[in-house]
């Protein structure tokens, strides 16, 4: 059972007319499923409730067609026809005794309305948040009355759907009440603009309206940004941010406090540790008698207890930690702290929403698959046979595969050529800012050590002959990939002919300790985190560094993980020179030649060395050797050889973990003859008469 020091986390908390059974609160978070995949969304929330969260909330829920933020797939309560989809989520959450929350929202001028084709509107006329060539119109008094009316109608629908907590959402700069609050968005001169007392008017009205509509049996929380992190042009925690809380004090039933926009509220681990928001939110409880919930990528129960005992928060809010481990509360309650699958703050979950796909997680390969594939994060099917399985390679795919097979009951051998477990994770966790990513290795190693049916062999490089003599029935290859040094990736589909490869390095070389001479040209045609991390590390060593990329931004794909602006800012602050929209086309004689990706115009820059961060090659030699020996498999009792993870196809760490988990979970389970997961099929509408 749990340690008494954690008892405080399991005290009930009164929220308006309701009582939460403990202090664990899954705050609203996007998931890429929403109204397009309501069963998938409900299945995911259901597992959170099963895992012990006292409150489980939806993502933002659009209240009207003029709040349309497609192609993002959020929840919707545009009219009564949306109620059944949301009711499925509420019912699923209630199944395990959790309170169900819905985050009603209108996106104001940030709603592009690409599907509804409504004209965007906000407190003042602004360009929409995307690069769409569209502007909003300034709302008139009738528009404001409509917003209030739509919000009440959606609140009543939410109550009919079975929700217990019905939000008024005023955070992240995304929604109309926040846009009215912020000086940088609200340039009105009427009673809804100017001094803070006027700018807070709409938020006050929405709270009162919502409580009047549903408050007898439902709680009405407010999610608010306490500091926009933009200085005097926006709300600041020490002045107007605090003033708003004081003005509304005990009007809502709970304060859900956030900091900055989404990229700051879900701060990547590279740019902020656990509890990073405390300095901004610590004063809130001093000015309200209502419970306060906040986030901070909390994964340590000790940090959670500290927040509560010191009066910072009443409830521990979580989005990403609840994704990485839906059973986090249950594990704390049962005293299984070492079994917590800690969030690494990589924001692959956010990338799913930003790429309009169902949610996924580096740490938790079952995330988003609860309904689609009937995968549970804590339960796997028992073994189907007594086959012994040899997994070769203990990177993220091999570790996940061996662990999951072991939990199913199979006898597993895990062979690793290096002297430590972890593969690419062990190496990359040593790069600047990426230490938290080591949790991918640490969790799985900890679980493996609890499995007596899994044997681990370090410093064991396996040849085809070794495998044939090992007496295993199945062989799984998870030997990873290597970075290319020939420049081939997106821009160059074949190697350039004018590269002096005697002074070309790869990230593998640098992580293995190779010494590199400056000035260094880093050619990043990978566009995720590696190019920026390499530039930061080499610059910290005192080398002159130029990062060259054919993309318009450094680490361009990291826009999806909310990291890109911070990566580029850090590199600029470190003095890294950035050459965007240019490709490396030649290297030799102490200079690199670059070509503009649009015009082909060439320029040279000084470079004693080039670091290629382009693409990777799967390590396939062992597979080829085994296939060449296929005639000997039967005598060696080998039934199958399968490649997984990066040695099948290089990808993200999340994809490698998923590949390892999928093989292990589906091993000896009869495959589907059609689509390997359930799909949500849209109903056909009636033809117009």
Catalytic residues: 30, 169, 172, 265
CB atoms within 10 A of CB 196: 15
What is the dihedral angle through the alpha carbons of 183, 185, 186, 187, rounded to the nearest 10 degrees?
A: 90
What stretch of H or E contains 592? strand 591-596
Measured in degrees and rounded to the nearest 5, phi and psi for residue 437 equal -65, -20
What's the chain's length in residues?
Answer: 689
Can you name the residues that pair with 121 across neighbouring β-strands?
Answer: 137
Contact 287, 249 (CB under 8 A): yes
Of the candidates 115, 113, 140, the one whose C-alpha atom is nearest the C-alpha of residue 125 is 140
Enumerate the β-bridge partners of residue 522: 547, 611
Q: What is the residue-wise DSSP string for 142-166?
A: HHHHHHHHHHHHHHHHHHHHT-SEE
Instruction: List Cβ<8 Å contacts ≥24 apart for 36-40.
Output: 36/73, 36/680, 37/73, 37/358, 37/680, 38/85, 38/86, 38/88, 38/89, 38/680, 39/88, 39/371, 39/678, 39/680, 40/358, 40/368, 40/370, 40/371, 40/372, 40/680
- Its sign, for the CA torsion 139, 140, 144, 150, is negative
The per-residue DSSP string of 296-316 comes to: S----HHHHHHHHHTTS-SEE
- For residue 260, the SS3 value is coil
Rounded to whole angstroms, the Cα distance separating 89 from 91 reads 5
Residue 318 CA to its chain's centroid (Å): 12
Give dist(CA 259, CA 589) in Å, integer: 50
339 is written with which tokens? 């079994």
Q: How many CB atoms lie within 10 A of CB 191?
A: 12
Rounded-to-integer distance, Cα 575 and Cα 667, Å:
50
Query: Strand, helix or coil at 587?
Result: strand
Centroid of chain to Cα 216: 36
Tell me if residue 226 falls in helix, strand or coil. strand
* Other CB atoms within 10 A of residue 216 CB: 10
Bridging pattern class, strands 474-477 and 640-643: parallel
């Amino acid at each position: 059972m749990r340690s008494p020091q954690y008892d405080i986390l399991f005290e009930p908390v009164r929220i308006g007319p309701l009582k939460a059974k403990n202090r664990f609160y899954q705050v609203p978070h996007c998931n890429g499923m929403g109204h397009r995949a309501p069963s998938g969304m409900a299945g995911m929330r259901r597992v959170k409730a099963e895992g012990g969260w006292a409150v489980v909330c939806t993502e933002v829920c659009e209240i009207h067609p003029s709040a349309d933020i497609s192609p993002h797939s959020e929840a919707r309560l545009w009219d009564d026809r949306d109620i059944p989809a949301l009711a499925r989520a509420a019912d699923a959450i209630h199944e395990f005794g959790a309170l169900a929350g819905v985050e009603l929202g209108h996106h104001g001028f940030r709603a592009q309305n690409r599907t509804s084709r409504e004209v965007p509107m906000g407190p003042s006329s602004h360009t929409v948040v995307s690069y769409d060539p569209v502007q909003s119109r300034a709302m008139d008094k009738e528009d404001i009355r409509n917003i209030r009316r739509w919000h009440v109608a959606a609140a009543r629908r939410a109550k009919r759907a079975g929700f217990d907590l019905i939000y008024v959402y005023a955070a992240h700069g995304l929604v109309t009440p926040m846009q009215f609050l912020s000086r940088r968005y609200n340039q009105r001169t009427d009673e809804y603009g100017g001094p803070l007392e006027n700018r807070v008017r709409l938020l006050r009205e929405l709270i009162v309206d919502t409580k009047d509509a549903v408050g007898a049996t439902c709680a009405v929380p407010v999610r608010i940004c306490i500091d926009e992190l933009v200085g005097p042009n926006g709300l600041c925690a020490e002045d107007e941010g605090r003033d708003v809380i004081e003005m509304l004090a005990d009007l809502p039933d709970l304060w859900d406090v956030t900091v900055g926009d989404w990229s700051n509220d879900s701060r990547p681990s590279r740019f902020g540790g656990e509890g990073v928001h405390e300095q901004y939110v610590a004063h809130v409880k001093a000015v309200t008698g209502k419970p306060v919930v906040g986030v901070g990528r909390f994964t340590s129960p000790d940090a959670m207890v500290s927040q509560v005992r010191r009066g910072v928060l009443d409830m521990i809010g979580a989005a990403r930690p609840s994704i990485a481990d839906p059973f986090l509360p249950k594990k704390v309650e049962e005293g299984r702290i070492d079994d917590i699958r800690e969030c690494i703050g990589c924001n692959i979950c956010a990338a799913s929403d930003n790429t309009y796909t169902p949610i996924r997680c580096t740490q938790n390969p079952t995330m988003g698959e609860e309904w689609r594939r009937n995968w549970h994060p804590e339960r796997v099917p028992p073994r189907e046979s007594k086959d012994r399985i040899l997994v070769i390679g203990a990177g993220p795919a091999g570790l996940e595969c061996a662990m999951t097979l072991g939990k199913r009951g199979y006898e597993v051998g895990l062979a690793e050529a290096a002297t430590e477990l972890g593969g690419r994770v062990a190496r990359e966790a040593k790069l600047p800012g990426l230490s938290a990513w080591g949790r991918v290795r640490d969790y799985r190693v900890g679980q493996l050590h609890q499995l007596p049916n899994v044997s681990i062999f370090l410093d064991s490089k396996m040849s085809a002959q070794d495998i044939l003599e090992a007496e295993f029935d199945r062989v799984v290859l998870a030997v990873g990939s290597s970075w290319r040094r020939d420049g081939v990736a997106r821009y160059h589909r074949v190697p350039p002919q004018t590269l002096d490869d005697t002074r070309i390095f790869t990230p593998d070389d640098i992580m293995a300790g190779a010494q590199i001479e400056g000035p260094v040209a880093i050619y990043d045609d990978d566009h995720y985190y590696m190019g920026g991390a390499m530039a930061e590390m080499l610059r910290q060593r005192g080398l002159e560094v130029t990062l060259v990329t054919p993309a318009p931004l450094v680490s361009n794909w990291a826009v999806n993980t909310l990291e890109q602006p911070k990566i580029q800012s850090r590199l600029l602050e470190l003095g890294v020179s950035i050459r965007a929209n240019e490709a490396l086309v030649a290297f030799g004689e102490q200079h690199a030649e670059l070509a503009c990706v649009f015009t082909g115009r060439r320029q040279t820059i000084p470079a004693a060395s080039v670091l290629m961060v382009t693409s990777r090659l799967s390590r396939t030699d062992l597979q080829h050797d085994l296939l060449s020996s296929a005639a000997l498999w039967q005598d060696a009792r080998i039934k199958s050889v399968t490649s997984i993870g990066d040695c099948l196809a290089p990808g993200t760490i999340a994809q490698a973990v998923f590949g390892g988990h999928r093989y292990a979970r589906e091993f000896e389970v009869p495959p589907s003859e059609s689509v390997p997961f359930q799909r949500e099929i849209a109903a056909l509408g009636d033809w117009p008469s």
